[in-house]
Chain A
Amino acid sequence: MADQPVPIAGPLEVAYPTQGTFLEWLHSWVTTVDHKKIGIMYIVFALFFMMVAGAEAMLIRIQLAIPNNHAISPEMYNELFTMHGTTMVFLVGMPILFGLANYIVPLQIGARDMAFPRLNAFSFWLTAFGGFLLYYSFIGGFGLYGMGNAPDAGWFAYAPLTLRSFSPGHSIDYWAAALILSGFGTLGTAINIIATTLSMRCRGMTLMRMPLFTWLLLVVSALTLVTITPLTAAQVMLLLDRYAGAHFFDAQAGGSPLLWIHFFWVFGHPEVYVLVLPAFAVANEVIPVFSRKAIFGYPAMVAASVGIGFTSLAVWAHHMFTVGMSAAGNSFFVLSTMVVGIFTGIKMFNWLATMWGGSIRFATPMLFCIGFLFQFLIAGLTGIMLAAAPWDWQLHNSYFLIAHFHYVLVGAIVMCIFAAVYYWYPKAMGRRLSETLGKWHFWVFVIGFHMTFDTMHFVGFFGMPRSIYTYEADRGWNTLNMVISIGAFIQAIGVLIFAWNLVHSYFYGEEAGSDPWDAWTLEWATPSPPPVYNFVTEPEVRSRRPLWDIKHPQDPDWKYEP
């Protein structure tokens, strides 16, 4: 069944351009407005910065592996954890989700491109230059005072540390300017994805027939509109404080650093959901295909995603229990945070119910998604623990908190990013990634992950705070920190296997064909890689699984769907 050509695709013979010079090749990428090329550029950009920020994490772990260590200077250490966080959120998480959205969403809804192809290219280059600007600070950030280099105020950059009296030089300016720049790129892409999903769907693709990946990216983009803009506004205020003599966060003139904390987390918490919902989106595609069953509870999944979107806007101050709030404020944010647990619980049970009774294929994408389910459950449970204000008073900004959010960001999001790359790489490149290397990647990475981040919970219980440069040998943290650092290096080996797999399979991978996974959404109806125009004729769909209908004309989905 899987090898039969799918009739709605159009001609499978694709005229590839003949090999030109290097400059022609470069020109074709720099000037492209094709959503697939822009998507690949986003993903390559993000994977590159994932390596960079990963290397920064390695340096942090070298520094913390043994007590009283001076492997790197304290100033360098501050820059490293600031840049690690900023890079992972803004230059890895966001670009990779927009890269996936760019590549997959138009294909899944049967469109030929995004709604605004040139805005799409513009947004990518804004984000890219934001990233380069941020990293230029390493060599260009000396400023007038000969001090300051890369940003070093933490990724949340609390005032008043960021004001000119405490951060002279230009390091904070690079940080603010780079994030404003990439923020506008993000806003442009979010608008583009919303317009694409709402206005570019092929005939028959009603909202309740959209693949869940596209649905979740729509929710993410809508959330991005009201998430990234507060950050941009706050950054403008910060720059006004630094350069126009304004007093937004200047306590000496009556301004309030507390306001920055609020503004930052008004952005910062929904941002977590902006990052994690695409991970859910990937799981929504991979788990049904590899369980050979339609997703369980499609409407509930949509509703839960929209619910998470709205709820996430009202939970930000759970980052601020230790800052001090009224009892009513504490109670509100405890309860609103726990409501998120209901929606994610719905999703967990739906994924499990999808797998239940299915004939599961343990291919690499599915392995990563199963890892995701397991780790996201633990991440959610520690999230509920931290959402309880008294618990948070005890453990806020300890390594327990670090362990919790890395469980979300690495255990859930990065795992799903890996799953997505293994799942869609054959579509984009025409060749499969090596399954053998993929399984090595999975197991090495998972072992390293659990060594690092399980152990972090305990070192947090034993009182180790975040962002410290070093520690005394008599605190009882020595062994645990060594284990964490070793685990980090095992993860790094896993990522290097992944990188090798990406390169090696590009040249020597098995030919994928149009539909290597026997999947059901429209992107698998096009040849791999898809031609520039995607579909020769606009497809028509009658159910949520159009390719199932074609492969099983005697038993199509549209007979059963409402």
Chain B
Amino acid sequence: MSTVPLFTDESWQMPSKGKVAMLSLIIGECGIFGIFLAAFIFYLGHNLSGPTPSILDVPVFNTVCLLSSSLTIWLAERAIEHGEIRKFGALWGLTILLGLEFITGTALEWYTLIYRDGLTISTNLFGTTFYSLVGLHATHVVVGLVGLTTIMIFTLLGKVRQEHAHRVQVFALYWHFVDAVWVVVFTVVYLVGR
């Protein structure tokens, strides 16, 4: 009988439980977004009355802001990994500003739709599916902003250090998802739907 090599501790690596959990949550979120997207697509062109998607303006600036926030948060992740806390704080703050711009842009868009075009969730099928889908995404942006701000407060209080890089990266995965899913929502609602 040949000898069997014993296990060496160094070679036994498990994936990060935080990242596995966050990716699982993201897969679950895809289920929710998938259903709302399916409803939006299913009802395209089925309106009995009222405004249609053609009244929408393509939110180019908003989209650019949100997608660039993925870049700034990635740079922030790199900064904290290298222990550059001040740089991390600055980039993290910039990410929050970009997220705030997006949510403000959405608020203004909805204001216009409601008061200029008279489109509410109960107006017609377009209103129903548009507000619920874009609102679902906006809810995720708000949740993300709450998380981002929490970490920002801890950073300003000086509690965030290099060893927290991994936790920050796990949270950043969520923000990347919020940005990535906007690409899909944007394409379906503003490019295909219009």
Contacts and interface: CB of A to CB of B under 8 A. Distances in A.
Chain B at the A interface: mostly helix, strand, loop or mixed? Answer: helix
Contacts of A9: none
Interface in B122-142: 122, 124-125, 127-129, 132
Contacts of A558: 4
B181 to A, nearest CB: 13
B122 A246 contact: yes
User: Interface range on chain B: under 10, 10 to 19, 20 to 34, or 35 or more?
Assistant: 35 or more
B42 interface: yes
A225 B14 CA distance: 22
B14 A226 contact: no
B158 interface: no
Contact of B125 (A229, A234, A237, A247): A247
Interface string B101-139: 000000000000000000011101101110010000000
A234 B1 contact: no
A194 B21 contact: yes
B6 to A, nearest CB: 9
Interface stretch (B30-38, B66-74, B85-93, B184-192): B30-38
Interface in A533-562: 540, 542, 558-559
Interface stretch (A249-257, A416-424, A472-480): A249-257
Contacts of A201: 14
Given A192-B21, A229-B31, A240-B128, A203 B122 contact: no
Chain A at the B interface: mostly helix, strand, loop or mixed? Answer: helix
B53 to A, nearest CB: 15
B128 A191 contact: no
Contact of B34 (A221, A230, A255): A230
Interface string A56-86: 0000000000000000000000000000000
Contacts of A559: 1
Contacts of B35: 229-230, 233-234, 237, 263, 266
Contacts of B46: 254, 256
A345 interface: no
Contacts of B47: 254
A248 B39 contact: yes
Contacts of B1: 559
A259 B21 CA distance: 31
B21 A230 contact: no
Interface string A187-201: 100111011101111
B60 interface: no
B17 A229 contact: no
7 shortest interchain CB distances as A-B pairs = A245-B122, A229-B31, A233-B35, A199-B17, A246-B128, A225-B28, A195-B21
22 contacts: A187-B25, A187-B28, A191-B25, A192-B21, A195-B21, A226-B28, A226-B30, A230-B31, A233-B36, A240-B128, A240-B132, A246-B128, A248-B39, A248-B128, A253-B125, A254-B43, A254-B124, A255-B125, A255-B128, A256-B42, A263-B38, A266-B35
